[in-house]
């Protein structure tokens, strides 16, 4: 880690940009850096055994927080709706709670999930496979509120701003993301004030956040304080610089949007503390896990026990938690003594599926490489 002592101060004195380092790729065999570890210690994933829960309990859902968790007083918090609208609005949480109330199960995944498995590795939050969770979000639909504010026909982008504030690559900013108007107006988009039946926790955006079912996590703006309608495309940092799939630093790239299909195996048996390899007793075993996609319903899951050499179909549970929740799958396996590498791959109704070798991109976004769960079945 570069320390402040290593840096030279410009004659005009230190600037905000001095806190940032340039974006970079890790060297070919470079292990995880101190900066990446700092992020991993803050922003945790779901422990994979928690794939057993249909709804992820508080504290086990993945978290990715760009800056600090801000302190927002729910009693005085207000959401403003402005920009290119006929009737700018300011609504309190109490106002929002009086509006129609909807609860949806939604699977959220970080756009950077899998990044730390890429070669070369983009240096950022070093996720392996665990940046996911499935919660019940309660709130009021966004679209009617936008219509009440009077959305003009020339509206292009809707900009959502959170109360969190920080610096990225030298740019001081409130966390701010835009959605195209058509996406913001979809009926499933919520202004959410509860998670799993309780008021939002601070780390999940208390007291108010956006939920954009099917999209990667960066769209679900937390600590939401402002909505602004724009008649020109939004060029803010999180849309125009970050969260783009690009091949190199000069490539303008394409925006990261909906979640690619992914299945995760709930690791069977029990683990070694350090290696996380599994011990499984020989005999019949139901291997199970979860599968999801933000593009279209999951229509199939296949399982491998040999690291992707061969595949067998898993059984999918009914999709009775809605179109945006993960689905449980299961596979009956008879484990003979030996060594195995388990994985699963999901296919959705759009035909998208998961690669065994990962296509690479500069930011490490939208990965859905098949997971590898190492299992030892001891001879008895």
Quote the CA–CA distance of 262 and 191 in Å, as a whole number: 26
279 is a contact residue toward a copy of itself (CB under 8 A): yes
**Which CB atom, from 164 or from 348, has the smaller least distance to a copy of itself?**
164
8 is a contact residue toward a copy of itself (CB under 8 A): no
Q: Which residues neighbour 10 within 8 Å (Cβ) at sequence distance 6 or greater? A: none
183 is a contact residue toward a copy of itself (CB under 8 A): no
Q: Which two tokens stand for residue 39?
A: 């992020």
* Window 56 to 75, contacts with a copy of itself (CB under 8 A): 57-61, 63, 65-69, 71
Quote the CA–CA distance of 353 and 342 in Å, as a whole number: 17
Residue where the block lists tokens 């690619």 = 260
374 is a contact residue toward a copy of itself (CB under 8 A): yes
129 neighbors 264 (Cβ within 8 angstroms): yes
* Shortest Å distance, C-beta 154 to a copy of itself: 34
200 neighbors 207 (Cβ within 8 angstroms): yes
Quote the CA–CA distance of 317 and 290 in Å, as a whole number: 10
Mask: binding to a copy of itself, 217-256, rule CB under 8 A, as x and -? ----------------------------------------
**Which CB atom, from 2 or from 76, has the smaller least distance to a copy of itself?**
2
Q: Is 4 exposed, middle or buried (0-12, 13-18, 19+ CB in 10 A)?
A: exposed
* Shortest Å distance, C-beta 147 to a copy of itself: 35
**Binds a copy of itself (CB under 8 A): choice among 87, 100, 250, 275:** 275
**Which CB atom, from 127 or from 347, has the smaller least distance to a copy of itself?**
127
Residue where the block lists tokens 């900013």 = 173
Query: What phi and psi values does residue 324 have, to the nearest 5 degrees?
Result: -115, 5
* Shortest Å distance, C-beta 262 to a copy of itself: 16
What single string gives the DSSP state of each residue in 217-249? GGGS-SSEEEEEEESS----HHHHTSSEE-SST
Provide the CA 116 distance to its chain's centre, in angstroms: 15
* Shortest Å distance, C-beta 50 to a copy of itself: 7
13 is a contact residue toward a copy of itself (CB under 8 A): yes
**Which CB atom, from 140 or from 176, has the smaller least distance to a copy of itself?**
176
49 is a contact residue toward a copy of itself (CB under 8 A): yes
**Binds a copy of itself (CB under 8 A): choice among 75, 94, 182, 379:** 379
Query: What phi and psi values does residue 116 have, to the nearest 5 degrees?
Result: -70, -5
* Residues making up the chain, counted from first to last: 380
Q: Which two tokens stand for residue 372?
A: 């590898």
* Shortest Å distance, C-beta 64 to a copy of itself: 10
Quote the CA–CA distance of 223 and 70 in Å, as a whole number: 8
165 is a contact residue toward a copy of itself (CB under 8 A): yes
* Window 309 to 338, contacts with a copy of itself (CB under 8 A): 337-338
Applying CB under 8 A, which part among 122-130, 151-159, 178-186, 248-256 lies near a copy of itself? 122-130
Q: Which residues neighbour 316 within 8 Å (Cβ) at sequence distance 6 or greater? A: 291, 298, 299, 300, 301, 327, 328, 329
36 is a contact residue toward a copy of itself (CB under 8 A): yes
* Window 200 to 219, contacts with a copy of itself (CB under 8 A): 201-203
**Which CB atom, from 275 or from 334, has the smaller least distance to a copy of itself?**
275
* Shortest Å distance, C-beta 177 to a copy of itself: 14
């Amino acid at each position: 880690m570069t320390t402040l002592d290593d840096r030279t101060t410009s004659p005009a004195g230190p600037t905000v940009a001095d806190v940032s380092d340039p974006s970079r790729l890790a060297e070919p065999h470079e292990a995880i850096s101190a900066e990446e570890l700092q992020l991993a210690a803050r922003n945790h994933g779901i422990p994979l055994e928690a794939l057993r829960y249909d709804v992820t309990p508080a504290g086990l859902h993945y978290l990715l927080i760009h800056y600090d968790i801000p302190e927002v007083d729910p009693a005085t918090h207000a959401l403003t709706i402005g920009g290119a609208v006929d009737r700018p609005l300011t609504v309190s949480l109490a106002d929002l709670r009086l509006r129609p109330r909807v609860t949806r199960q939604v699977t959220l995944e970080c756009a950077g999930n899998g990044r730390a498995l890429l070669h070369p590795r983009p240096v950022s939050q070093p996720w392996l496979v665990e940046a996911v969770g499935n919660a019940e979000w309660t709130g009021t639909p966004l679209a009617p509120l936008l219509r009440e504010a009077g959305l003009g026909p020339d509206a292009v982008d809707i900009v959502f701003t959170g109360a969190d504030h920080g610096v990225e690559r030298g740019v001081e900013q409130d966390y701010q993301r835009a959605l195209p108007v058509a996406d913001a107006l979809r009926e499933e988009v919520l202004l959410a004030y509860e998670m799993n039946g309780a008021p939002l926790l601070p780390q999940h955006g208390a007291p108010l956040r956006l939920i954009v079912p099917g999209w990667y996590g960066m769209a679900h703006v937390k600590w939401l304080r402002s909505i602004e309608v724009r008649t020109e495309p939004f060029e803010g940092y999180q849309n125009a610089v970050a969260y783009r799939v690009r091949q190199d630093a000069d490539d303008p790239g394409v925006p990261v949007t909906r979640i690619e299909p992914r299945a995760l195996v709930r690791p069977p048996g029990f683990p070694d503390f350090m290696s996380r390899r599994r011990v499984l007793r020989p005999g019949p075993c139901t291997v199970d896990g979860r599968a999801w996609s933000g593009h279209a319903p999951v229509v199939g899951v296949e399982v491998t026990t040999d690291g992707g050499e061969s595949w067998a179909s898993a059984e999918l549970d009914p999709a009775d938690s809605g179109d945006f929740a993960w689905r449980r799958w299961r596979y009956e396996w008879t484990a003979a003594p030996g060594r195995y590498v388990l994985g699963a791959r999901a296919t959705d109704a759009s035909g998208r599926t998961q690669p065994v070798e990962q296509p690479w991109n500069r930011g490490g976004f939208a990965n859905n490489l098949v997971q590898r769960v190492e299992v030892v079945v001891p001879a008895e």
